[in-house]
Protein backbone atom coordinates (compact mmCIF):
# COMPACT_ATOMS: atom_id res chain seq x y z
CA UNK A 1 0.00 0.00 0.00
CA UNK A 2 1.61 3.31 -1.07
CA UNK A 3 1.79 6.16 1.39
CA UNK A 4 0.39 9.14 -0.50
CA UNK A 5 0.93 11.53 2.43
CA UNK A 6 4.69 10.93 2.28
CA UNK A 7 4.65 11.70 -1.44
CA UNK A 8 2.73 14.94 -0.78
CA UNK A 9 5.16 16.02 1.92
CA UNK A 10 8.16 15.42 -0.31
CA UNK A 11 6.46 17.40 -3.11
CA UNK A 12 5.73 20.27 -0.71
CA UNK A 13 9.33 20.25 0.56
CA UNK A 14 10.63 20.37 -3.01
CA UNK A 15 8.32 23.25 -3.95
CA UNK A 16 9.33 25.20 -0.83
CA UNK A 17 13.02 24.68 -1.50
CA UNK A 18 12.56 25.79 -5.11
CA UNK A 19 10.76 28.93 -3.92
CA UNK A 20 13.31 29.92 -1.26
CA UNK A 21 16.58 28.97 -2.96
CA UNK A 22 18.70 30.40 -4.58
CA UNK A 23 18.63 33.15 -1.96
CA UNK A 24 16.96 36.35 -3.18
CA UNK A 25 16.88 39.25 -0.71
CA UNK A 26 13.77 40.86 -2.16
CA UNK A 27 11.76 37.60 -2.07
CA UNK A 28 12.81 36.86 1.53
CA UNK A 29 11.93 40.44 2.60
CA UNK A 30 8.45 40.16 1.05
CA UNK A 31 7.96 36.82 2.77
CA UNK A 32 8.99 38.35 6.12
CA UNK A 33 6.53 41.25 5.77
CA UNK A 34 3.67 38.94 4.82
CA UNK A 35 4.43 36.57 7.67
CA UNK A 36 4.39 39.46 10.18
CA UNK A 37 0.87 40.47 9.17
CA UNK A 38 -0.49 36.94 8.81
CA UNK A 39 1.10 35.64 12.00
CA UNK A 40 0.03 38.60 14.10
CA UNK A 41 3.58 39.46 15.07
CA UNK A 42 3.04 43.16 14.46
CA UNK A 43 0.80 44.98 16.93
CA UNK A 44 0.30 48.70 16.85
CA UNK A 45 -0.57 50.62 20.03
CA UNK A 46 -4.14 51.86 20.34
CA UNK A 47 -5.60 54.72 22.33
CA UNK A 48 -9.01 54.51 23.97
CA UNK A 49 -10.71 57.42 25.66
CA UNK A 50 -13.95 57.54 27.60
CA UNK A 51 -15.72 60.86 27.04
CA UNK A 52 -18.93 60.01 28.93
CA UNK A 53 -19.68 61.66 32.24
CA UNK A 54 -18.72 64.99 33.63
CA UNK A 55 -16.55 66.23 36.45
CA UNK A 56 -19.43 66.22 38.97
CA UNK A 57 -20.14 62.48 38.71
CA UNK A 58 -18.47 60.24 41.29
CA UNK A 59 -16.42 57.44 39.80
CA UNK A 60 -16.56 53.87 41.06
CA UNK A 61 -19.36 54.28 43.59
CA UNK A 62 -22.47 52.14 43.54
CA UNK A 63 -23.12 48.95 41.64
CA UNK A 64 -24.00 48.87 37.96
CA UNK A 65 -27.66 49.70 37.45
CA UNK A 66 -28.04 51.32 40.89
CA UNK A 67 -27.61 54.95 41.87
CA UNK A 68 -24.26 55.85 43.40
CA UNK A 69 -23.90 55.91 47.16
CA UNK A 70 -24.13 59.38 48.64
Residues 6+ apart with CB under 8 A from 57: 68
Residue at 11 is within a domain: yes
How many domains would you assign to the chain? Answer: 1
- Please give the pLDDT value at position 30: 93
* Averaged pLDDT for residues 44-59: 63
20-41 residue pLDDT tens: 999 999 999 999 888 888 876 6
Q: Using CA of residue 33, residue 34, residue 40, residue 44, what is the dihedral sign?
A: positive
- Please give the pLDDT value at position 70: 56
Domain that includes residue 14, residue range: 3-39
| Full-model pTM | 0.45
Under the banding of pLDDT at 50, 70 and 90, the label for residue 2 is low
The better pLDDT of the pair 50, 20 is held by 20
Residue at 32 is within a domain: yes
Amino acid sequence: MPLHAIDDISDAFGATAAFLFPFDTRRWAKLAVVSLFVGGGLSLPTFQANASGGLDEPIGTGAPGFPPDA
